[in-house]
Amino acid sequence: MQFSELNLHPDLTRSIKDAGYISCMPVQEQVLTNAFNGQDLYVQSQTGTGKTAAYLVVIFQRLLSESILAGKKAIIMVPTRELAVQVEEEAKVLGKYLPFKAGSFYGGVGYSQQQQLLKDKVQILVGTPGRVLDLNKSGHMNLMDIAFLVLDEADRMFDMGFYPDLRRLIQVVPPADRRQTMLFSATLNTWVKNLAWEYTKNPIEIEIEPETVTVDEVEQILYHVHSEDKMKMLLGILEREKPESVIIFCNTKRFVEIVAKRLRINGIECEFIIGDLPQIKRLKIIDDIKAGRIRYLVATDVAARGLDIDALAMVINYDLPVESENYVHRIGRTARAGKTGKAITLASEYDVYELPDIEKYIGKKIPSQIAGESLYSKDKSETVRIKTDFYDDRERDGRQGADRKKSGSRSRKKEPKRSKPGKTSPPKQVRNTQQERKTQQARNVQHSELAQQAALAELSFEQRMAYYKEKYDGSGKSKENKTQDSAAEARQQPKQGIIGKLLGIFKK
């Protein structure tokens, strides 16, 4: 369906044409077909599918064409400040020739500018739950003249703990029979469905197929890599591929900062974005990455949510995401609106267990390749202790696996205890010898890793998972309870099972 086929207000049609919209994307066609009569909707649709334009066109058209809505407002709730700014910008583009003022309301900045927007009679309000509730409670934002309530990326708002805020917000807007409610979510989980059925009126459910087309258009590569070698491989990939633009995803805010700073030590200019950054700096980074002034960005799923970067060349999963849907969100950023892209995933012994759910979700096995020696680069930051600005700098950051186990802990360097009379500490020379022995043991393991990776690349998915289960769960202990020492000891034992048999065949 073409936008020109819709019987829209001439000024709105003109704005849509100027924005370059010609053909409706699937979610746009479904929303525009069902929503102009005021019907409530809850829609399952991934990011990057055009849903923002869909609900904005509905809001603008109804405000322009229905006299009963004169002077009414729309409030659009989003999970992050970045997405609020993005939706505001889209509203300004599509409302270019319209008499409606749009504004965004979010935390991390002062209240005065946002309060002035409300005094200027802004009609399209885009905000995050916390700031909107604050402004309403203080009396600056009146929500009883709302005619449209949009909950965008509802599942992400629940993940971020906004569910109680959303319930409070819905209590201070007009009831369901006096507003149009449109709820958008990448996944229609129990929380989303409960909210939809509790606070909407006979909603139509629209389900747009997940990004299967986008996933198919992304070249996916999986490398099995030891956690201690992830940075070396990341450096090798960037050196070999030389992508024009890339987002590197980590699972935690702390590792986002650490990875970015290690890249800088290795001479790679990059930025990182986490929720703890000052808002002004966050917005500048977003503007720079969109304008191409920054090529490399390190981020978490939450911080990067809603970031639309034209022609993003590559996504690198430094960590495998815990939620399968987030894998699709991540790699889909390189294949917007039918474009192609490349996604590289580094799977270590600590996060390989996320693979079954991810491959089941996307409906196919992620192609794996052998990581030859040429793919690794020297890591100049290997012996450097990274001081983080937003986390306790006493936490050690030397090894990915150890850090993940200690995530959230406050590890302190203990003072040496004084020796009691009659007791002596082990001689320093003995301690050094023990350390050298451990170092040598680790080196003895490295020579077999290329052969292991070659074998892994030949395994089927079921064989791969059987191997990892045997290797890391064979003792009966969970991987979280294993210490690094026991892992090192296990690596010294003869290889057995599927991988051992394959290595034996290769040797012959």
pLDDT tens string 450-471: 445 545 555 665 666 666 556 5
Residue 494's pLDDT is what?
Answer: 43
Rg (CA), the chain: 26
Q: What is the pLDDT of residues 371-380, one digit of tens each?
A: 778 889 999 9
Per-residue pLDDT at 443 exceeds 60: no
Please say whether the beta carbons of 305 and 282 come within 8 A: no
Answer whether 343's CB lies under 8 Å from 219's CB. Answer: yes
Per-chain mean pLDDT for the chain: 77
Residue 506 in this model has a pLDDT that exceeds 60: no
Confidence class for position 491, pLDDT limits 50, 70, 90: very low
Spatial CA neighbour of 330 closest among 441, 199, 455, 186:
186
Asked which of 68-72, 154-158, 245-249 is least confident by mean pLDDT, the reply is 154-158
**Displacement of CA 211 from its chain's centroid (Å):** 15
What pLDDT does residue 107 have? Answer: 87
For residue 457, give the nearest of 502, 400, 497 by alpha carbon: 502
Which among 126, 140, 41 is positioned nearest to 92, based on CA atoms? 126
Helix (H) or strand (E) holding 491: helix 484-492
**Which domains can be identified in the chain, with CATH numbers?**
3-207 (3.40.50.300), 212-400 (3.40.50.300), 446-475+482-508 (no CATH)
For the ranges 295-299, 386-390, 421-425, the lowest mean pLDDT is seen at: 421-425
Q: Tens digit of pLDDT for each residue in 181-193?
A: 999 987 777 777 7
**Burial of 220 from C-beta contacts in 10 A (0-12 / 13-18 / 19+):** buried
Calculate the alpha carbon distances from 255 to 183, 234, 392 in Å. 33, 14, 13
Q: Inform me whether the pLDDT recorded for 4 exceeds 90.
A: no
Angle between helices 51-65 and 10-18 (to 10 degrees): 160
271, two tokens: 């930025």
How many residues in total does the chain contain? 508
pLDDT in tens, 115-128: 999 999 999 999 99
Residue 231: per-residue pLDDT: 94
**Residue 125, SS3 per DSSP:** strand
CA angle (303, 309, 310) in 5-degree steps = 170
Cα dist from 353 to 175, 224, 273, 319, 368, whole Å? 45, 12, 27, 12, 15
Task: Map 84-124 to HEC letters.
Answer: HHHHHHHHHHHCCCCCCCEEEECCCCCCHHHHHHHHCCCCE
